[in-house]
Chains A and B, each alone.
Chain A
Amino acid sequence: MLANRFVALVLWCAIANPTVVFAAASVHEFTLDNGMKVLVREDHRAPVVVSQVWYKVGSSYEPSSLTGISHLLEHLMFKGTPDAPGGEFSRLIAANGGDENAFTSRDYTAYFQTLEKERLELSFRLEADRMRHLLLKPEDIAKEAHVVAEERRLRTEDQPEALTHERFQAAAYVTSPYRNPIIGWMQDIQSISPDDLKRWYQQWYAPNNATLVVVGDVDPIQVRELAEKHFGPLPPSDLQPPKSAAEIPQLGERRITVKTPAEVPYVIMGYKAPTLKTATEEWEPYALDVLDGILDGGNSGRISRNLIRGSQVAAAAGTGYSPTDRLEGLFVLAGNPGPEHGSAELEQALRVEVAKLREALISPEELSRVVAQVIAADVYQQDSLFYQGMRLGILETVGLGWRKLDDYVQRIQAVTPEQVREVARKYLIDDQLTVAMLEPLPLEGRRAAMPGAAMGHAIR
């Protein structure tokens, strides 16, 4: 996920399920006087520390004409302050043996550095500085809009499946901001003004809209002192919560086709689904999480067993569900048909798998397999400092609170076969479904009308 080292990574897809469980005592939590929350988790395996600053802002906070502004601002956060001008931030971190990056998602924007533990203060000093003193020079903004346009071409325009996924999201939601891509539509990326960015920065970049997460070989008391020293003096903002933008109820199945030069067809299907944040029944997201594991938890999941190895209707396929989304989410199934099969057959086969979950109870063996995988993954995920911080940061930033981690394994263990059937019956129904099909055009042929591509020449 974070394979490349370039700044400003965008998280495109739902994040994997949170399965780290810490003992409550192992996370130290405190709040600075200006409202900035700080979470510290000690991990003394290596003399290293990860420091992450999480802001409660992302593409789901954006009005429709400013899509991509959170991500563009994330890029500009590396462009300097009066005290650390130009690329000084990155230069200092690099020269101190550090690794840094940032990422924007629908519900959060986060910045992180990994450093040898003695150098944590450098991270705090620089992050505190750019939380309130970003320069946002017009010439930097114009140049960075080009970079982001290239990023969009790289990750979406020229990637048939990513392009299909983007159009799928736009079809699945009518009023929810989840309909817009995190990176923004090309015309918005190119028309966001310096004033827009200044307003966005002033509106959201404040200590009382941020969470500092520190994981590593540190002493929580020293972390607190350093945080108070560097972040403590920053003034809080008068925060206006984002306008609610609930999705209107879906009144029947939706279908779209995406025609673009490609070789391999692709089907993506999504059912509206509650998340930990939106669910009225608290157990439902856990049951959906288990259902996700039943279908696609490793090679023994039903998709691999029945569709990839069994009927071979799929060359590749999988499911996705993100219980930590801030707004109503989707339970997604996607795949490429096998060579002897078409997209319609794959869609049908995926629908059959969903129907089975509505009709019959999962077996105890399947359930215990999913539980075993959750228990093991809970241990494995503690191998990564970064990932430990990520789990804390997401939960805190979407408003669930990091303590949701405490009972995650127990909540999964408490899910019954009946509950899995119940969520399938309630949510995985045709009227709540959106289907998108990638219909490949010949690669040597012309592309269907692509406003983004055409706009590419109009940036400057």
Chain B
Amino acid sequence: MPNRSSIFKTLLALVLLLVSGIAAAVPEIQHWRTANGVPVYFIPARELPMVDAQILFNAGSARDGDKPGLARLTNALLEEGAGAWSADDIADRLDRVGAQFSASSARDSAVISLRSLTDPRYLQPAVETVARLLKKPTFAPDVIDRVRQQMLTVLRERAQSPGAIAQDAFYQALYGEHPYGSPPEGATASLEALTQADIQNFHQRHYTAANARVALVGDLDRSAAEQLANALVSGLPAGEPIPPPPPVPEITSSQTVRLAHPSTQSHILIGQTGVSRADPDYYALYLGNHVLGGNGLVSQLSQEIREKRGLAYGAYSAFIPMRQTGPFLINLQTRNDQVDTALEVAQATLRQFTEQGPGEQALEEARQNITGGFALDLAGNRKLANYLGLIAFYHLPLDYLQNFVSLMNNISLEQVKDAWQRHIQPDRLITVVVGGGENAPDSSAQSLKKGS
């Protein structure tokens, strides 16, 4: 087999050349406001007789105030009773037309999703149901207690998961008293104390037209899409816009949190504050992160930790941009006795990357992965709906999808390096280690205090 590897390389070169020439058809976003002023984002997709709808609210856990879990509980209760309908009625109404419904909430947003066939016999009952549960949830006391108990069970499940414990400790260490510091899942004492009035007030304040966005992808013409959006949100009260969460203070010193857990592996999170959605540096940071730890096995962190040393199954890094500054983090899990080695390798990889920047070839290959793979991100209604939801919630420009590839193509190596050096300080890191197994010192009592 003479020289087959050179054929591979030739093929790669050819393919890379082809890439830049292909302008994938990126769907245009249609945008308007409903009669009561809710912004709507729509992409027609006529091939399959179905529609995906998202209604997004400024109603994530960043709005919990001093009641952690309030946003999540309110969101979870929407499908548990509305008007004269019980939870059983709502479930029946949605299931018997094959509709798929979900309610979720994170730190910034709360999202209601509906997937339905577009045949009006299926779509109409589903839309009517969703519109009513947004507008008139009953929040009956016995139902509140039941869902509260389910959330308390979730907290107990998180307490048995070293990964979940590490996440919570990381956000708390990074954000402290900032609203992003507490987990969307809430906390036991707070959940136990939440009242019906708390929930009603939260709903009235946040589930309003002024705080809503609608994203639609599916087999609809413009007028059908307009009708659908109106039907979903026209019952919402006008409301007042919610101001953004407060700015996030930068961390001033390194801190290490070690929590004992009887697990065979330790879960490690290393990071610091990253960027907000609105920060123009996000794109250069994202591109660079693809080289460091955002591109699967090819990334430097995977190479150093998994491929060269066999220390972990997964090792990655990510920026999680939010309304205000979201985190930058590195995540991995390794056998308890390998923690020190893994920490050293991860920190050294980050330090070297920040100081020296990505190599020219590595950056070009990461860029090719992002731009050449962009069509993959848009293939399918659900994927489009998720993009649209993101654009709607964070007020990204309507031509975001059209411009994404050229935006990525126009970021230079120097810009990547510069953005990383301005945003990431490898000598100021939050490090969380959860694990240690049977012999771990129980450091939980003092672990969350600031250390050096």
Query: Is this pair of chains taken from one and the same complex?
Result: yes
Residues in A whose Cβ lies below 8 Å from that of B159: 263, 443
Which of these binds chain A: B270-278, B291-299, B414-422?
A: B291-299
**Does residue A456 face the partner (Cβ distance < 8 Å to B)?**
yes
Q: Nearest chain-A residue to B310 (Cβ)?
A: A146
Alpha-carbon distance A116/B87, docked complex (angstroms) = 44
Q: Are A300 and B372 in contact (CB under 8 A)?
A: no
Q: Nearest chain-A residue to B373 (Cβ)?
A: A97
Q: Are A99 and B376 in contact (CB under 8 A)?
A: yes
Q: Are B117 and A379 in contact (CB under 8 A)?
A: yes
Q: A6-B296, A383-B380 are in contact. Are A97 and B313 (CB under 8 A)?
A: no
Q: Are A45 and B298 in contact (CB under 8 A)?
A: no
Interface string of B56-86 (1 = CB under 8 A from A): 0000000000000000000000010000000
**Does residue B15 face the partner (Cβ distance < 8 Å to A)?**
yes
**Does residue B337 face the partner (Cβ distance < 8 Å to A)?**
yes
Which of these binds chain B: A351-359, A365-373, A415-423?
A: A365-373
Question: Which among B264, B296, B379 is the interface contact of A157 at CB below 8 angstroms?
Answer: B264
Interface string of B238-282 (1 = CB under 8 A from A): 000000000000000000000011111100000000000000000
Alpha-carbon distance A146/B308, docked complex (angstroms) = 11
Q: Are A380 and B19 in contact (CB under 8 A)?
A: no
Interface string of B155-194 (1 = CB under 8 A from A): 0110111100000000000000000000000000000000
Q: Are B149 and A312 in contact (CB under 8 A)?
A: yes
**Does residue B391 face the partner (Cβ distance < 8 Å to A)?**
no
Q: Are B380 and A46 in contact (CB under 8 A)?
A: yes
**Does residue B54 face the partner (Cβ distance < 8 Å to A)?**
no
**Does residue A429 face the partner (Cβ distance < 8 Å to B)?**
no
Q: Give the residues from 165 to 218 in chain A that come closer than 8 angstroms, CB to CB, to chain B.
A: none
Q: Nearest chain-B residue to A146 (Cβ)?
A: B310
Q: Are A150 and B371 in contact (CB under 8 A)?
A: no
Which of these binds chain B: A83-91, A279-287, A391-399?
A: A83-91
Residues in B whose Cβ lies below 8 Å from that of A116: 19, 22, 24, 372-373, 375-376
Q: Are A369 and B265 in contact (CB under 8 A)?
A: no
Q: Are B156 and A150 in contact (CB under 8 A)?
A: no
Q: Are A158 and B162 in contact (CB under 8 A)?
A: yes
**Does residue B198 face the partner (Cβ distance < 8 Å to A)?**
no
Q: At the interface, is chain B mostly helix, strand, loop or mixed?
A: helix
Residues in B whose Cβ lies below 8 Å from that of A243: none
Q: Give the residues from 85 to 100 in chain B that come closer than 8 angstroms, CB to CB, to chain A.
A: 87-88, 90-92, 94-100
Q: Are B24 and A304 in contact (CB under 8 A)?
A: no
Interface string of B113-135 (1 = CB under 8 A from A): 00111000010000000000000
Q: Are B96 and A383 in contact (CB under 8 A)?
A: no
Q: Are A91 and B380 in contact (CB under 8 A)?
A: no
Question: Which among B50, B95, B150, B160 is the interface contact of A383 at CB below 8 angstroms?
Answer: B50
Residues in A whose Cβ lies below 8 Å from that of B307: 87, 143
Interface centre among A84, A263, A308, A452 (most CB of B within 10 A): A263
Kindly provide the distance from the CB of A436 to the nearest chain B CB, expressed in whole angstroms: 17
**Does residue A319 face the partner (Cβ distance < 8 Å to B)?**
no
Kindly provide the distance from the CB of A287 to the nearest chain B CB, expressed in whole angstroms: 20
**Does residue B196 face the partner (Cβ distance < 8 Å to A)?**
no
Q: A125-B8, A264-B156 are in contact. Are A97 and B19 (CB under 8 A)?
A: yes
Residues in B whose Cβ lies below 8 Å from that of A125: 8, 11
Question: Which among B45, B98, B265, B314 is the interface contact of A6 at CB below 8 angstroms?
Answer: B314
Q: Are B379 and A48 in contact (CB under 8 A)?
A: yes
Interface centre among B88, B122, B152, B261 (most CB of A within 10 A): B88
Question: Which among B15, B117, B153, B442 is the interface contact of A96 at CB below 8 angstroms?
Answer: B15
**Does residue B411 face the partner (Cβ distance < 8 Å to A)?**
no
Q: Are B87 and A299 in contact (CB under 8 A)?
A: yes
**Does residue B381 face the partner (Cβ distance < 8 Å to A)?**
yes
Q: Are B94 and A122 in contact (CB under 8 A)?
A: no
Residues in A whose Cβ lies below 8 Å from that of B22: 47, 116, 118
Alpha-carbon distance A98/B297, docked complex (angstroms) = 13
Kindly provide the distance from the CB of A102 to the nearest chain B CB, expressed in whole angstroms: 11
Q: A48-B376, A96-B16 are in contact. Are A83 and B262 (CB under 8 A)?
A: no
* Size class of the contact patch on chain B: 35 or more
Q: Nearest chain-A residue to B152 (Cβ)?
A: A339
Q: A150-B335, A154-B333 are in contact. Are A380 and B100 (CB under 8 A)?
A: yes
**Does residue B47 face the partner (Cβ distance < 8 Å to A)?**
yes
Q: Nearest chain-A residue to B332 (Cβ)?
A: A150
Q: Are A97 and B98 in contact (CB under 8 A)?
A: no
Alpha-carbon distance A376/B302, docked complex (angstroms) = 40
**Does residue A114 face the partner (Cβ distance < 8 Å to B)?**
yes
**Does residue A135 face the partner (Cβ distance < 8 Å to B)?**
no
Interface string of A331-367 (1 = CB under 8 A from B): 0000010110000000000000000000000000100
Q: Are A446 and B262 in contact (CB under 8 A)?
A: yes
Interface centre among A96, A150, A312, A444 (most CB of B within 10 A): A150
Q: Are B19 and A96 in contact (CB under 8 A)?
A: yes
Alpha-carbon distance A390/B371, docked complex (angstroms) = 26
Q: Nearest chain-B residue to A118 (Cβ)?
A: B18
Residues in B whose Cβ lies below 8 Å from that of A308: 150
**Does residue A384 face the partner (Cβ distance < 8 Å to B)?**
yes
Residues in A whose Cβ lies below 8 Å from that of B153: 264, 315-316, 336, 338-339
Q: Are A83 and B379 in contact (CB under 8 A)?
A: no
Alpha-carbon distance A146/B442, docked complex (angstroms) = 28
Q: A6-B314, A95-B16 are in contact. Are A372 and B98 (CB under 8 A)?
A: yes
Q: Are A373 and B262 in contact (CB under 8 A)?
A: no
Residues in B whose Cβ lies below 8 Å from that of A305: 88, 91
**Does residue A16 face the partner (Cβ distance < 8 Å to B)?**
no
Q: Nearest chain-B residue to A142 (Cβ)?
A: B310
Q: Are B149 and A262 in contact (CB under 8 A)?
A: no
Interface string of A80-115 (1 = CB under 8 A from B): 001111011011101111111000000000000011
Q: Nearest chain-A residue to B12 (Cβ)?
A: A92
Q: Are B48 and A300 in contact (CB under 8 A)?
A: no
Q: Are A150 and B334 in contact (CB under 8 A)?
A: yes
Q: Nearest chain-A residue to B5 (Cβ)?
A: A83
Question: Which among A6, A339, A447 is the interface contact of B149 at CB below 8 angstroms?
Answer: A339
Interface string of B363-399 (1 = CB under 8 A from A): 0011011111111101111100000000000000000
**Does residue B359 face the partner (Cβ distance < 8 Å to A)?**
no
**Does residue A297 face the partner (Cβ distance < 8 Å to B)?**
yes
Interface string of A429-455 (1 = CB under 8 A from B): 000000000001001111100101100
Q: Are B94 and A46 in contact (CB under 8 A)?
A: no
Alpha-carbon distance A365/B91, docked complex (angstroms) = 13
Q: Give the residues from 130 to 145 in chain B that come closer than 8 angstroms, CB to CB, to chain A.
A: none
Q: Are B310 and A87 in contact (CB under 8 A)?
A: no
Minimum-distance CB pairs A-B, first 7:
A97-B372, A376-B98, A146-B310, A299-B91, A46-B379, A97-B373, A300-B91
Given contacts A150-B334, A300-B91, could you give 15 more A-B pairs where the C-beta distance is less than 8 Å? A6-B313, A45-B380, A46-B24, A96-B16, A96-B369, A119-B15, A119-B18, A119-B372, A143-B307, A263-B157, A264-B157, A300-B88, A316-B150, A380-B100, A385-B380
6 A-B residue pairs with Cβ-Cβ distance under 8 Å, sorted by A, are: A85-B5, A91-B298, A143-B309, A263-B156, A298-B94, A300-B88
Q: Which residues does B use to contact A, with CB under 8 Å?
A: 1, 4-5, 8, 11-12, 15-16, 18-19, 22, 24-25, 45, 47-50, 79, 87-88, 90-92, 94-100, 115-117, 122, 146, 149-150, 152-153, 156-157, 159-162, 260-265, 295-298, 302-303, 306-307, 309-314, 316, 333-335, 337, 365-366, 368-376, 378-382, 437-438, 442
